[in-house]
Structure 1
Amino acid sequence: MKILITGVHGFVGTNLVKALSKEHTIYGLDIISPTKEGVRFTFSWDYLDKENGIPEVDAIIHLAGKAHDTKNQTVSDVYFKVNTGLTQMIYDYFLKSKAKKFIFFSTAKAAADKVEGILTEDVVPSPVGPYGESKIAAEKYIQEHLANDKQVYILRPCMIHGPGNKGNLNLLYGVVKKGIPWPLGAFENRRTFTSIENLCFVINGLLTKDVPTGIYNMGDDEALSTNELIEEICKSLGKNAHIWKLPKGLMTGVAKIGGALHLPLDSERLRKLTENYISSNAKIKKALGVEKMPVDAREGLQRTLESFK
């Protein structure tokens, strides 16, 4: 197949190129255009408007977007300009093109900021903040302009990790590596993660199989608690885990003080670190005809952690 990947030079794009370029011809669309092994050519966004600008492709994978700014320093207009605006632009291009498949990377946060129980695709979306809101606006635009002769997939992955990943997992790894005890052991939460290997497996399935148009959650089969995550990091480092189960009330009070004094641990960060966020991947597995993802959650995590070394 000939495939166009937007945001091809990002973390997910780089891994998709490695996974797909052996069997497919890959073109990129990005704001930067360095040469990359496995990518035939990377076009800039203004090529969408040029006649004979981008070669005809069989599928488009839309990764480009403004990632969630955990420091909340990004103005909301930027999220909508990039996450909604660019999606509308590339999707309109797709509808006019001969391409038959379109894969849009949304986010679990477009469906729900908090999860009670297990998140499924039939939830009524209730995003909180411009990141999730801009993604759900892009989803709605796509769903309002579906074409009968094309297959369109909206993916809602939970936190994606893998070699080359930069984000909260790196920060947590750095804290544990310094030998700093984890003080939130009393909070027994569980979260769904998405290993890049499982993500690439799903993308390949969507490209090569006859999967119905629709919204699909994306995540590993097993959810892990933050305490288990700390233990996996320590295992990777060859250290003993230092998990302190301090009283929840005490840590909640510390977080309130931290917010007033602008310290690293505030109430919002405490919530993010200790909340449950479990997402079901049953729908995508059924659509692909598989009983389980190829990579176990802990196995995928260990591969990511090894890369941090």
Structure 2
Amino acid sequence: MRVLVTGSSGFVGKALMEHLSGLGHEVCGFSRQPRPFSIAGDLLDPATIRHALETFRPDVIYNLAAETDLKGEAVNGYAANTVGVRNLLDEVQRSPTVRRVIWASSQLVCKPGRPPASDTDYFPEGGYGESKVVGEKMVRARSGGGKEWVIFRSTTIWGPGMSPHYASILGMIRKGLYFHVGGRPLMKSYSYIDNLVDQLETLATAPAEQVAGRTFYLADSEPIDLREWAGGFARHFHKAIPTLPEPLARGLARAGDAMTRRGVRFPLTSQRLDNMLTEYVYDVSPIDRVSGRTRVSMAEGIARTADWYLRERARPA
């Protein structure tokens, strides 16, 4: 296939391009940051989208470009997730070569801990989640610009190359600053990067009757227990993770809320604590039936990621 990947400079975009190229597909990125094997462009600039489609003539597009809130509210108000989707739909509709587009959404179209009753049952979390709802609705309303369309909702994605936001958790574990809250298991649907790109490749190559017009949650076949996941990294880093009673953690979080309101950074707030304690396990049997069960176990993923993290920290500044 000839595959165009928007958001190709991101964690998932880079991994997906490498994976698809290794399978023999001809792959081109589309990113605001010029890179090898990429076309410079912006979803907010329709002319650059049109140029990429006319120049590269892709069969398949992965729209991974997004504005997130990992560093606070998005500078452009999440325009890439709304206006950008509209612009790409317009250009895809005009393209004579594109046959399928895989659209990236997010688990946050429904608040974690509140599983949706259907693909269009929305209860978004924050401005980012709301913007992804708008994008999904556009794709559905316009039937993907008249092309085969697939929507996937991602969860927490981890592995070698992961974003600094999530890698900071590993840093906290290594420094002995991470802690468990309470003693119960906390089950979550996480995506190890190699498993995710396997699933994404399937969404482009599977017969249309298996994927077109459908929405998939992508995550590892087996959910992780957050205590075991963090504990696995702690063992690689030769650290122990303490456990705080939940009432004590709640008190510290309230103190963190007060400090945050005063402009003082504190490692624990009520919002962060709620995120830690909220379980979310999604039904991934639909993607498993198409792609097969994920191949990299949690233990193997932890070993690979811990080794990568230590190598990166050992590099000269």
Q: Fold match, TM over 0.5?
A: yes
Residue 65 of structure 1, CA deviation:
0.7
Counterparts of 1:270-309 in structure 2 under 5 Å? Answer: 270-288=273-291, 290=292, 292-309=293-310
Residue 64 of structure 1, CA deviation:
0.7
- How has the CA–CA distance of structure 1 residues 91 and 265 changed in structure 2, closer, same or farther, with 3 Å as cutoff? same
Q: Is the 8 A contact 2:153 2:218 kept in 1?
A: yes
Q: 1:241 corresponds to which residue?
A: 240
2: CA distance between counterparts of 1:147 and 1:155? 13
Structure 2, unmatched stretches of 5+, are 261-265, 311-317
Q: 2:191 corresponds to which residue?
A: 194
Structure 1, unmatched stretches of 5+, are none
2: CA distance between counterparts of 1:276 and 1:147? 32
Q: Partner amino acid for 2:282?
A: S
Q: Is the 8 A contact 2:257 2:270 kept in 1?
A: yes
SS in 1 for 2:186: coil
Structure 1 or 2: more helix by fraction: 2
Candidates 160, 179, 185, aligned match of 1:163: 160
Q: 1:172 corresponds to which residue?
A: 169
Residue 123 of structure 1, CA deviation:
6.7
Q: 1:126 corresponds to which residue?
A: 123
Q: Is the 8 A contact 2:139 2:145 kept in 1?
A: no
Counterparts of 1:87-102 in structure 2 under 5 Å? Answer: 87-97=85-95, 98-102=97-101
SS in 1 for 2:150: strand
Residue 152 of structure 1, CA deviation:
0.7
Residue 182 of structure 1, CA deviation:
1.4
2: CA distance between counterparts of 1:73 and 1:186? 33
Which has the higher mean CA deviation after the structures are superposed, 60-69 or 185-194?
A: 185-194
SS in 1 for 2:152: strand
What's the CA shift string for 1:130-155, capped at 9, x where partnerless?
Answer: 10000110000000111697321100
What's the CA shift string for 1:74-122, capped at 9, x where partnerless?
Answer: 36x521x111111111122122212111001111111x12214x66754
Q: Is the 8 A contact 1:227 1:243 kept in 2?
A: no
2: CA distance between counterparts of 1:297 and 1:196? 11
Candidates 198, 203, 208, aligned match of 1:206: 203
1: CA distance between counterparts of 2:52 and 2:101? 21
Q: Do structure 1's residue 258 and structure 2's residue 256 form an aligned pair? A: yes
Q: Is the 8 A contact 1:107 1:156 kept in 2?
A: yes
Q: Is the 8 A contact 2:182 2:245 kept in 1?
A: no
SS in 2 for 1:106: strand
What's the CA shift string for 1:208-238, capped at 9, x where partnerless?
Answer: 220332110000112223211221111222x
**Root mean square deviation of aligned Cα:** 2.3
Residue 48 of structure 1, CA deviation:
2.4
1: CA distance between counterparts of 2:181 and 2:122? 30
- How has the CA–CA distance of structure 1 residues 185 and 247 changed in structure 2, closer, same or farther, with 3 Å as cutoff? closer
Q: Partner amino acid for 2:241?
A: H
Counterparts of 1:71-86 in structure 2 under 5 Å? Answer: 72-74=72-74, 78-79=77-78, 81-86=79-84
2: CA distance between counterparts of 1:52 and 1:154? 20
Which has the higher mean CA deviation after the structures are superposed, 57-66 or 219-228?
A: 219-228
Q: Identity rate of aligned residues, in percent?
A: 25
2: CA distance between counterparts of 1:191 and 1:19? 26
1: CA distance between counterparts of 2:306 and 2:118? 30
SS in 2 for 1:306: helix
Q: Is the 8 A contact 1:185 1:243 kept in 2?
A: no
- How has the CA–CA distance of structure 1 residues 21 and 270 changed in structure 2, closer, same or farther, with 3 Å as cutoff? same
Residue 305 of structure 1, CA deviation:
2.5
Q: Is the 8 A contact 1:47 1:53 kept in 2?
A: no
Q: 1:141 corresponds to which residue?
A: 138
Q: TM-score, normalised by structure 2?
A: 0.86
Counterparts of 1:2-13 in structure 2 under 5 Å? Answer: 2-13=2-13
- How has the CA–CA distance of structure 1 residues 235 and 219 changed in structure 2, closer, same or farther, with 3 Å as cutoff? same
Q: Is the 8 A contact 1:102 1:151 kept in 2?
A: yes
1: CA distance between counterparts of 2:25 and 2:62? 13
